[in-house]
Structure 1
Amino acid sequence: MSPAAVAAGAFPPIAPGGVHRWGGAALIVARRPGPHEAPWPSPGLSPAERRVVRALPAWRRAEWLAGRLLAKRLVGGALAAPEREVEILPRDDGSPYAVVGGSPVPALNVSISHTARHVAAALAPEPVGVDLCEAGSADAVRRVADHVFSPAELALIGTDRADALAGAWALKEAAVKADRSGVFGSAPRGVALLGLTPPLLGGRRRAMVWRAGGALLALVLARP
């Protein structure tokens, strides 16, 4: 698909606040609260979660809390468990996992993303990655594009359309989150971007991109 075809397409909108379902995954996106809007300490956190968040810089606490509360809502809804019994804790590599009633839930995979304006969480029975990228971050994406995208992918995306760049970046990052690898190493080059509208990735991956206000939201499911 040419850049002109990408420009002619449109990422479908996704409404904030509600639980959306796609491909077996559950997904929520919301406006991110400001640093003084989120209650702290939050009554919805377990002692283990409080220990994690206390170790964070003060400026990161609101974003961390916002993402975890969305993920707790998804897990609680999926298992019909009270949210106070749900914990979202970090693995050694920083990726989140769910604990319910003190026991890990390996059958559910969690992913969380946030920008300065939005936060999202996704839950799926297979490896899942969710990522947000503000369309206003397109200049930053352009500066690192050669490290993340192949020449063929850049020809596909084009560099003159902010939402295409942001959507492509979100797809790559969501994919490496599903793989539990990092976006700043060589891993993104191993994820082939074959289409953008509709999104198509190489390998055993399914993907979708939506517009959430001024951000692009990507969801990637990776079959193990």
Structure 2
Amino acid sequence: MSADAAGPATGPPDAPVEPVEPVLLALADWDGLDPDPARTAPAERALTAGLPPWRRRELLIGRLTARAALTLRHGDRAARAELLRDSASKAPRLRGLPRTTVSLSHTGDRVAVAVGSARHRAGVDVERSGRCRPALLRRVLAPGEAPLPGQDPTVHWALKEAAYKAVLGRWAGLRAYRVRWTPHGPRITAPAGPPLTGRVWCWDGTVVAVVMGPGRYGGGPHDRSTGPAAGTGTPPPRPAATVAPTLLDPRPWSTTGSPAAPTPFTPFAPFALLAPVTPLTPPIGHPA
């Protein structure tokens, strides 16, 4: 049976959501590297006009990491893509690659990009470990909600930020997104629509959260989801994708990288093959 013809999911309420199409999670550390504006599209460079140097750098390393991720996913077709900014939500808006979605996040020189699809949108957030202090946590927790005992509250906060991006901020305020920890990892519910699936990794002093859900979400005039209301514990009939994480080498996209680099991107390896992150897989909150 094709994915489009699949019937409603069955199984226990907290059964893991099975993949349809992996979401590509691309991570890059730009420490000590200068982003090359010439590698961006003209419309992307126009976004940097008048920005202070720090904000210009942040925008460029985000766009270049996204281009590397899109090239990894789509090959030469990514050359025609432009990552702009939605005038209303200020979220990244991808032009030139239909049915592809992009979410990105920065902290310092580190960038995380999630490449999803129109059917399975993903939101991503990257934060320095320990950044979520008690005062901030109190502002974002819903009544009765709490992080796992002994867990860095930044993990909980990052999941909420990623959920907000996954549904394009349909509900303002992070308290609207409730994180519940199950044996299969975090599930996130919003005021309406099916529950979302979360994944979290630690990356050498940072927390990376990805939240996945259907491309159309939450009871609006264009919503086509047929799932039950949030909080019922029933998996959505169109499940979100799993995550394929990769560390990217940004040097070929910088002015300080090697000009002899043979490809516009160099994926190091999946997380599980990398020494700095091997002790941190499987993702936080998931069984081995």
TM-score by length of structure 1 reads 0.75
CA drift at 1:78? 2.5
1:91 to 86, 103, 106: 86
The answer on 1:73 being equivalent to 2:61 is no
Aligned equivalents of 2:63, 2:74: Cα separation in 1: 16
Aligned equivalents of 1:69, 1:22: Cα separation in 2: 27
CA drift at 1:136? 3.2
The answer for the alignment partner of 1:6 in structure 2 is: none
2:100 to 102, 108, 120: 108
- Runs of 4+ in structure 1 displaced over 6 angstroms? none
Unaligned runs of 5+ in 1: 1-20
The higher radius of gyration belongs to 2
Contact 2:44–2:63 (Cα < 8 Å) also in 1: no
Q: Aligned in 2, Cα 1:94/1:196: closer, same or farther, shift over 3 Å?
A: farther
Aligned equivalents of 1:78, 1:108: Cα separation in 2: 10
The answer for the alignment partner of 2:202 in structure 1 is: 211
Q: Aligned in 2, Cα 1:196/1:64: closer, same or farther, shift over 3 Å?
A: farther
Q: Decide which moves more: 173-182 or 209-218.
A: 173-182
1:199 to 183, 186, 192: 186
Aligned-residue RMSD, C-alpha = 2.4
Aligned equivalents of 1:136, 1:117: Cα separation in 2: 17
Contact 1:44–1:84 (Cα < 8 Å) also in 2: no
Contact 2:35–2:64 (Cα < 8 Å) also in 1: no
CA drift at 1:72? 1.1
Q: Aligned in 2, Cα 1:27/1:66: closer, same or farther, shift over 3 Å?
A: same
CA drift at 1:77? 2.9
The answer on 1:177 being equivalent to 2:175 is no
Aligned equivalents of 1:47, 1:72: Cα separation in 2: 13
Aligned equivalents of 1:210, 1:129: Cα separation in 2: 14
The answer for the alignment partner of 1:16 in structure 2 is: none
CA drift at 1:96? 0.8
The answer for the alignment partner of 2:152 in structure 1 is: 164
Q: Aligned in 2, Cα 1:23/1:143: closer, same or farther, shift over 3 Å?
A: farther
Aligned equivalents of 2:95, 2:132: Cα separation in 1: 36
Aligned equivalents of 1:196, 1:176: Cα separation in 2: 20
Give the aligned length: 189
Aligned equivalents of 1:99, 1:88: Cα separation in 2: 6
1:29 to 7, 24, 27: 27
Unaligned runs of 5+ in 2: 1-18, 217-288
The answer for the alignment partner of 1:129 in structure 2 is: 123
Contact 1:108–1:124 (Cα < 8 Å) also in 2: yes
CA drift at 1:151? 3.8
CA drift at 1:152? 2.1
